Structure 1
């Protein structure tokens, strides 16, 4: 029998990669999309003839129940949220509605309409905020420092509570920063790879960044979604850290990207205090011992491979647009 999967957040980076993975594995894939999202389908345009888009909204419990009843999925992946941290400060209530309360609505819909479905909740390293240890494990205390992290912490613990109270197969994957060519350019990793490509092609002249010594745990989105799928293939539900297990500085990232296009980054990078984030006395880096030991998962792409993959993509995409670019050089 063909497995059915329902993905919320289908139009995002992770949703599009997960849909591709599930289709490769023979699933029938349904994607939950808000009416207002129908104009933002670029990441899944190549999948239109292979997936079924269903209308629903994490703000509307009835729509979630209707979709689950109609599609009867065996696996449900909740990847939808307001996920841009700075925006969570300007829209904290909206972030809470989608990222926190929306998960409560979804869990309750599963309990009522499809209690035997397996559920994956996309948790985030932002739940740790300013942790008291590094690296962080599944046992590290949550200390979120922004509205997005607070909302994700609520969603995480609601998932755990529904698992314990109602015996649902419900898992949380605590994902650290993961990147891909489908990542928005407002995120620093993609901003750097794209601007390096633009400078190489003469389409930009400088790159403005904040603290070059800030460190992050970065991995490839394709590796992350494979871990999500693996989590729902186990006999018993559990929560796992999904990360690379190592950190690199923004300086490392800049140097790697610019070296790849044979440029000296110091000639182009401008440090702008406006881009600085608060000091991070303890680094956010995931301990992936548990997921390696229990699921035999580990990242397939190294940091260097990921940087080069993204620069290659941006070079190719920008070369296709060069003939349409007008005007003088721009700063990014």
Structure 2
């Protein structure tokens, strides 16, 4: 009999890749979806609408990290072996515009889920999606013992969720872990995040659908990895005998400008002709450099990153160019009709 997992944020980038991974390991996967007047399941539709067996092992539930009672009821109904809390307001720049909402969902939401696990008495193992943004102004390289210095409401909320997870582990003996993941991207990344914003713009410029790309700070240094590899690290954390916290990163640094240049070069485009600076994309307080030391994950989880930032930029451009081509072909068919 396979295990049962519950994923909050199942419709996001990480949630969709994690659902695929767990289904491949014969899990029954339950996902939490926020109620909306529009469909937002496109990242998991290829699983959920599969006419074969796989879709029977993926069950979606309407719930919200803002509703602790609903979380308790759902946990008692599903009784998962593993819980992956990936749900959040996860856009750093947006968190400055919506700090209270970000704090409620990203910070208190983690606490509500932990309390729901405790109150329901189900004994599930819990993964909390922590973030490299928690390190903020602390110089790199950053590892599990590096002090936090958050520089955004999002990062502050993640620090709260991190320590709530540690507290419930120590106070109640819960198997609860923090995965401190550095930036990880893919073709499923949201279109407002800088990497996807760049690769999508490259595809649209190449197709003649867009002329300009407006960005903020191009000198910020980040440690970029490939999302499908990072969800594998999440799963590995919950398979250990003892709960511990882990940094997940490549250890390689690249600026936004370097990612930009790689993406444009892959499409034979000159960024100087198309990229313009717009101060509205600057953060009120910037995080200059995030570079992770994932030695602990390498040693204890046997986890290693394989896709590097240059390959990541190219594969994202290829995927966005294919998406634009498919959209143009679909539009041509509709016109012919």
Assess same fold via TM > 0.5: yes
Displacement of 1:273 after TM fit? 3.5
Matches within 5 A, 1:73-112: 73-112=80-119
Displacement of 1:191 after TM fit? 0.8
Aligned partners of 2:329 and 2:212: how far apart in 1? 21
Matches within 5 A, 1:243-282: 243-277=249-283
Residue 136 of structure 2 is matched in structure 1 by: 129
Encode CA deviations 1:280-325: one digit per residue, 9 max, x unaligned. Answer: 5852111111111111111121112111111111010001112567
Displacement of 1:239 after TM fit? 0.3
2:251 and 2:291 in contact (8 A); partners too: yes
Distance 1:188 1:145, change over 3 A: same
Residue 46 of structure 2 is matched in structure 1 by: 46
Aligned partners of 1:111 and 1:10: how far apart in 2? 22
Aligned partners of 1:86 and 1:273: how far apart in 2? 12
Aligned length: 325
Distance 1:216 1:281, change over 3 A: closer
Distance 1:38 1:200, change over 3 A: closer
Q: What TM-score results when the alignment is normalised by the length of structure 1?
A: 0.93
2:214 and 2:278 in contact (8 A); partners too: yes
Which of residues 196, 201, 207 is equivalent to 2:207?
A: 201
Displacement of 1:10 after TM fit? 0.7
Residue 118 of structure 1 is matched in structure 2 by: 125
Aligned partners of 1:81 and 1:162: how far apart in 2? 19
Aligned partners of 1:64 and 1:276: how far apart in 2? 36
Displacement of 1:115 after TM fit? 4.5
Encode CA deviations 1:106-141: one digit per residue, 9 max, x unaligned. Answer: 11111122442110000011111211x311111111
Greater CA drift, 156-165 or 59-68 = 59-68
Displacement of 1:36 after TM fit? 2.6
Greater CA drift, 241-250 or 158-167 = 241-250
1:11 and 1:43 in contact (8 A); partners too: yes
Name structure 2 gaps, 5 residues minimum: 49-54, 333-337
Matches within 5 A, 1:286-305: 286-305=292-311
Aligned partners of 2:37 and 2:240: how far apart in 1? 33
Displacement of 1:272 after TM fit? 3.1
Name structure 1 gaps, 5 residues minimum: 327-332
Encode CA deviations 1:220-243: one digit per residue, 9 max, x unaligned. Answer: 111111110010011100000111
Q: What TM-score results when the alignment is normalised by the length of structure 2?
A: 0.92
1:134 and 1:282 in contact (8 A); partners too: no
The 3-state SS of whatever aligns with 1:138 is coil
The 3-state SS of whatever aligns with 1:112 is helix
Greater CA drift, 140-149 or 206-215 = 206-215
Residue 329 of structure 1 is matched in structure 2 by: none
Residue 225 of structure 1 is matched in structure 2 by: 231
RMSD over aligned CA atoms reads 1.8
Encode CA deviations 1:76-100: one digit per residue, 9 max, x unaligned. Answer: 0000011111221222111111111
The 3-state SS of whatever aligns with 1:43 is coil
Matches within 5 A, 1:136-151: 136-151=142-157
Greater CA drift, 172-181 or 203-212 = 203-212
Residue 166 of structure 1 is matched in structure 2 by: 172
1:72 and 1:114 in contact (8 A); partners too: no
